[in-house]
A = this chain, B = another copy of it.
Amino acid sequence: MDTSKFPTQESHATPYLLFDHAKMERNILKMADVARENGVALRPHVKTHKIPSIAREQVEAGAAGITVAKVSEAEVMADGGMEDIFIAYPLVTEAKIRRAVQLGERVARLVVGVDSLEGARRLSAVAGDSTLEVRLEVDTGLRRTGVLYDGAVGLAEEIEGMRNLDLTGIYTYRGAVLGGSKTLELEEAGLEEGRLMVSLADQMRERSIGVDEVSVGSTPTAEYVAKVDGVTEIRPGTYVFYDRMQARLGACSLDECAAVVVCTVVSRPARDLVIIDGGSKTFATDVGPGAEPLNLEGYGHVVGYPGAVLERLTEEHGMLSVDEDCDLEVGDTLQIIPNHICSTVNLHDEVYIVGEDGAVEETWVAARGKVR
C-alpha cells in the first residue's frame, strides 16, 4: 500500500482500519469473474465488511444477491438497498422468524436457512399466511450447523411437505481447514465439497424434492468448487479484502490484501520490544499465533518489517518483538495485515477507505455488533 496516500496523524488518530479501494475493487471483480466463467451465481457473505456500500459494489460487479448470518445484518443490508438476501443461519425463535417474515415483505427475495425438523416446524408455524423460501443446510464435515449428511434427504422430504415453507435449495459451509493448507489441497477440498452437495441434490431430485440450488464455497475453495457440474452458487466472503490467513492458505498473495490496521508506536522500552496502540480490542484474536493448521507467527503481518512479530496482545497494547537494530521509534506509524479480517472489522465502528486519487473517506460499519 502506498503510504503517501495514508490519512495523516493530524486528521486520523490511530489505531484504525484502512481499506485500499483499488485492491478491493480488483478482488471484487476477480471473484465475479470466477462466478461468470463457471456459470454460477455469486452471493458474497457480507459479514466480512458489514458495510452496505461495499455490498452494493459487489452487486454492481455481478453478484446475484448477498449472504448474511443474522436477521439484524439482513435488516441493515435491506436498509442499504439490498433486494436479494440469504440469511444462512437457522432461525429458531419466534421473534426472529417474525422479523424475517416482515423483512421478506420489503425486499424482492429473502431466503432463510434451516437445518433441523424442529427448526423447520418453527419456521412453518410462525410464517402464518406468508411463504418462506428456505434452503436446507448440510454438514459436510465442519461439525457446525447443518443436518448430518446422511440425514439430509430424509429431512428435506419432511420440509417439502410443510405448509408455508418453500424448499428451493441446499447449502453448506465447509471452509478450507478440512483440506489442509496448500493450494493443491484447496483444489481437492473444493472439488470434494461440490461433488458431495451435487450428489445429495441428485438424490433429493430422485425423490421429487424440488432442489434448484446447490450453494457452496468459501474464499479459499470458491474457484475450485465453482467448476463442479451442478453447483449453482458460491458464497465467499473474505475475498473482498483477503487477509493473512487467506494468504497462508494460498487463496491470495499478501499484496492483494486490501485491509490493514494502522497503528502508532507508543513505546520502545527495550531494543527488542516495540509497543503499538492496537491490542485485542483492535485486532481479532480468533486466529491466533500457532493455531493449527495455519501456524501463523503473531497476530498480523507487519508490512515492511519482516523481522517484527506481533507476539502478544492485551486489550489496548500490541507487543512486537523486533531485531535490536530495527529503526522503529515512538510516534512511527505501522501497517499490519490482520490474521482474520472479518472478526477484525467487527471491532471497529468506522473505517477509512482510500481511493486511487488518494482521497480518504470515512465509512460507518453499519452492521457491526449486529449479532442477533
Contacts and interface: CB of A to CB of B under 8 A. Distances in A.
Contacts of A190: none
Nearest first, the 6 A-B pairs at minimum CB distance are A13-B372, A349-B369, A280-B286, A118-B330, A69-B316, A285-B286
A116 interface: yes
Interface in A166-223: none
Contacts of A256: none
A95 interface: yes
Contact of A93 (B14, B91, B118, B273): B14
Contacts of A143: 269-270, 273, 319
A330 B116 contact: yes
A191 to B, nearest CB: 23
11 contacts: A15-B372, A47-B316, A70-B316, A89-B277, A92-B267, A119-B267, A144-B275, A147-B269, A278-B371, A346-B347, A349-B369
A153 B90 CA distance: 60
Interface in A230-269: 264-269
Nearest to A299: B286
A298 B336 CA distance: 29
Among A11, A115, A265, chain B packs the most CB atoms within 10 A around the CB of A115
Contacts of A94: 9-10
Contacts of A343: 280-281, 315
A284 to B, nearest CB: 7
Given A145-B275, A281-B346, A348-B371, 14 more contacts: A11-B95, A13-B93, A13-B95, A14-B93, A15-B371, A15-B372, A90-B266, A92-B264, A116-B268, A278-B371, A285-B285, A315-B343, A346-B347, A347-B347
Contacts of A116: 267-269, 330
A278 B89 CA distance: 12
Interface residues of A, number: 69
A329 B369 contact: no
A300 interface: no
B281 A371 contact: yes
Decide if the interface of chain A is mainly helix, strand, loop or mixed.
loop
A84 interface: no
Nearest to A93: B9
Interface string A63-89: 000000111100000000000000001
A30 to B, nearest CB: 23
